[in-house]
Amino acid sequence: MEKVLRINVKTKDINYEDTPMEYLQTGGRGLIAKILLKEVKPTCEPLGKNNKLIFATGLLTGTNVSSASRLSIGAKSPLTGGIKESNAGGIMALRLAQIGLKALIIEDIPDDDKWYYIKISKENCSFEPADKYIEMGTFDFCTEMLNEYPDSAVSCIGPAGERLYSASGIATMDKDKKPNRYSGRGGLGAVMGSKKIKGVVVIDKGTVKIENNEQYMKSLKEYTKILSEAPSSLNFKKLGTASVVRTTQSLNGLPVNNFSGDLLEEDIVDNIYGETLYEVISKRGGEGRTYHSCMPGCVIQCSNVFPDENGKTIVSPLEYETIGLLGPNLGITNLDVIAKLNAVCNDIGVDTIEIGAAIGVAMEAGIAKFGDVDAAFELMEEIKKGTILGRVLGNGATITGKVLGVINVPAVNGQAMPAYDPRAIKGMGVTYSTSPMGADHTYGPIVKCDKSFVESSNEAQIKMAIIDSLGFCMFVRAAIGANYKVLVDLINGRYGWNKDVDWVLNLAKETISDEHKFNELAGFSNVNYHMPECFTEREISNLKTSFDVNVDELNELVSLYKW
């Protein structure tokens, strides 16, 4: 049976525990919610000794099921003060599952100022001194680890997490051994930093056991066919998430100049369309890749490698949210610039969404002009260096707005919005304002609604709770639709269980319910999730509309998940 590895950074105790019954039949985000609700005091100080940092694997993680090995990382968030799970691709979850670990739980905070990284092998776990790696970017740290452990998988923080920035994330190596995959949201890097852990390094490989191989292989074949033939997968393979630029632009929902509601001229937005990205990568060649997978065996391959004019990698991947937030949201529409800003974020270890939003707010405050590329790089340098302004920005859009006296802050519950203006894309606005994680598109992504905004968001939320708890990538959702049976069959094959679709639907609802429960115990009420006035009272002038979804309807949606 998979174990839970529990380590205490104060006592340096290391324990391998049998996975408790209640943790066994869930995974990823669902498991994070269960552990937090059972083990962490909801009112605790996020950067204090009572918070726990959890790495959780999904139910199919470690198998050869495509796109099923997302790493879920969770804790009480220092950004929102509520529950947080943020998942990423790459190879860490795979490795943890393959050496028999269901979850890693990092507890307490140390008494002294010594830093460590956690080394995990098949048989062992140890604290290794990491003082010499402090202030090191994520790329250099991974290089150091690879020098020491050539075939390791690494998750780590950059200087941002060390400095407890609320916008800091945790980077995880992709299959090419670069720390490009991000559990970016909610300040989880700061939680790791508060525990003085620079990284987690898994040096061994293994395999997971398939209990019912016949069932498994049959379902795997069916699943892989659905996934590889789905139009959504083909589209993601070609244009990646950047394809979304065209959609949001057409809806006037692409953020421009700190979510001003302005619409980009067509000849300008053309510079950042997914098709343009595809052309630039194709033309430049070299290390560039129009499609690329973050974990081995992924058939979607939505990722890309964006090269400079000499074909050398600038960043991988360049994705929609980053293009939106570090691009037009800052008045910038040059893919090279956006890619370079993205690369700096990855190395410092900050969330591109939160930082893009924070710089947008700072530009509105007059710290720099929208579109001033040099200023954007200078601000990024401040974040990297940890100057006072850098620390302000590194703590996200809400703190930046407070400090600089800006009330137009695109955030809900302290967390910045992804690149969908909720006045134009109201279903996503419903997700922002009912999610227990703050504004988060992945909590229930919905751009075009065929039902009411609230119903559409709710359906998307349930789907994502399934996807996130099983350990799948969110782009599987677009391919399989509501065909959860194939996912359940895969799980039945893997574990020799006999679950049905109702089981997985219940798992989703229980996950959402657990998350809201944690937040309620942490002091949140529905009201905390409300959309800020700059979106409810300020119209998008072209559309003549604000975010006007009825608050009672939003509250009703949250109330569905009251236990």
Binding positions for a copy of itself, rule: CB under 8 A: 42-45, 47-50, 163-166, 194, 388-389, 391-392, 395, 399, 402-405, 407, 520-528, 530, 532-534, 537
Question: Smallest distance from the beta carbon of 353 to a copy of itself, in angstroms?
Answer: 19
Q: In whole angstroms, give the CA distance from residue 86 to residue 321.
A: 15
Question: Smallest distance from the beta carbon of 41 to a copy of itself, in angstroms?
Answer: 9
| Residue 316 CA from chain centroid, whole number | 15
Nearer to a copy of itself (CB atom), residue 136 or residue 164: 164
* Exposed / middle / buried, residue 76 (Cβ in 10 Å: 0-12, 13-18, 19+): buried
Nearer to a copy of itself (CB atom), residue 202 or residue 392: 392
For 289-293, which contacts have Cβ atoms below 8 Å and span 24 or more sequence positions?
Answer: 289/316, 290/238, 290/240, 291/237, 291/238, 291/240, 292/316, 292/317, 293/175
Q: In whole angstroms, give the CA distance from residue 454 to residue 184.
A: 26
Which residues in 95-106 are b (16+ Cβ under 10 Å) and which e? bbbbbbbbbbbb
Nearer to a copy of itself (CB atom), residue 52 or residue 119: 52
Question: Smallest distance from the beta carbon of 536 to a copy of itself, in angstroms?
Answer: 9
Nearer to a copy of itself (CB atom), residue 208 or residue 362: 362
Q: Cα separations (Å) of 559 from 81, 434, 441, 522?
A: 20, 10, 20, 17
Question: Smallest distance from the beta carbon of 494 to a copy of itself, in angstroms?
Answer: 40
Nearer to a copy of itself (CB atom), residue 83 or residue 464: 83
Nearer to a copy of itself (CB atom), residue 211 or residue 533: 533
Nearer to a copy of itself (CB atom), residue 48 or residue 206: 48
Question: Smallest distance from the beta carbon of 371 to a copy of itself, in angstroms?
Answer: 22
Question: Smallest distance from the beta carbon of 9 to a copy of itself, in angstroms?
Answer: 15
Q: What is the DSSP letter of 443?
A: G
Residue 490 contacts residue 65 (beta carbons within 8 Å): yes
| Cis geometry, peptide bond prior to residue 129 (ω within 30 degrees of 0) | no
Q: In whole angstroms, give the CA distance from residue 141 to residue 132.
A: 10
Question: Smallest distance from the beta carbon of 221 to a copy of itself, in angstroms?
Answer: 50
CA atoms within 13 A on the CB side of 145: 33
Nearer to a copy of itself (CB atom), residue 199 or residue 401: 401
> Helix 274-284 vs helix 335-348: angle between axes, to the nearest 10 degrees?
90
Q: Cα separations (Å) of 248 from 242, 354, 477, 498, 561?
A: 11, 19, 20, 42, 30
Nearer to a copy of itself (CB atom), residue 150 or residue 405: 405
Question: Smallest distance from the beta carbon of 450 to a copy of itself, in angstroms?
Answer: 30
Q: 79, 111, 265: which is closest to 183 by C-alpha? A: 79
Number of other residues whose CB lies within 10 A of the CB of residue 78: 28
Question: Smallest distance from the beta carbon of 115 to a copy of itself, in angstroms?
Answer: 15
Pairing of strands 125-129, 116-120: antiparallel
